């Protein structure tokens, strides 16, 4: 859905429009957020607003028919859903935000903004590279999933409420992998996406 590192090429825009339209989401209303790697704070969270949301690491909403879209290429996309208050959040959890305990802070944002109880939250952790291909040196070279599950549980999420994608972006060629591209193992750089919306 993304053309290399550019979000605003004609191809990238058309890909987003087609994808969102096919899954029944309005491209005009979509909140599209992505990290700013020139900053020092990787836990910037906001309410969803239509359009591009640069420098925002997580976006939440309790409005129905408000799409949230997150482009990714190795970082974990986490979807946190509160079925009690009918609120949802999409959090970008890369190496930088994980080191700043983004898993814990995402849960805290849901609690502060939507009155969610951590024990009620249902969490989905999207595709990510394994520790073999992308070890997190700040966490004893463990992998994203291991560290993020630990952070979520620390914040009060029940382990049986956390669902983990089995996709390894470093080995599954159906997904872009920025790290593999930089290592010369992939011919193309790009981004896949997570998109969610409350009904």
Reported as a single tens digit per residue, the pLDDT across 38-84 is: 889 999 999 999 999 999 999 999 999 999 999 988 899 999 999 99
The class that CATH gives domain 2-196 is alpha beta
What CA–CA distance (Å, rounded) separates 49 from 33? 10
> Is 91:37 a contact under the CB 8 Å cutoff?
no
To the question of pTM greater than 0.85 for the whole model, the response is yes
């Amino acid at each position: 859905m993304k053309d290399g590192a550019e979000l605003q090429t004609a191809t990238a825009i058309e890909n987003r429009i087609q994808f969102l339209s096919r899954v029944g989401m309005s491209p005009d209303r979509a909140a599209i957020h992505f990290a700013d790697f020139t900053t020092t704070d990787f836990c910037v969270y906001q309410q969803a607003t239509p359009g591009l949301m640069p420098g925002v690491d997580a976006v939440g909403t309790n409005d129905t028919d408000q799409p949230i879209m997150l482009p990714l290429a190795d970082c974990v996309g986490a979807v946190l859903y509160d079925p009690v208050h009918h609120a949802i959040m999409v959090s970008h959890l890369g190496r930088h935000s994980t080191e700043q305990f983004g898993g814990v802070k995402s849960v805290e944002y849901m609690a502060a903004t939507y009155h969610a109880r951590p024990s009620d939250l249902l969490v989905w952790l999207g595709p990510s590279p394994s520790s073999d291909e992308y070890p997190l040196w700040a966490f004893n070279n463990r992998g994203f999933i291991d560290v993020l599950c630990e952070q979520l549980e620390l914040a009060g999420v029940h382990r049986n409420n956390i669902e983990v994608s089995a996709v390894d972006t470093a080995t599954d060629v159906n997904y872009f992998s920025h790290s593999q591209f930089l290592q010369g193992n992939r011919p193309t750089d790009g981004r896949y996406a997570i998109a969610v919306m409350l009904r």
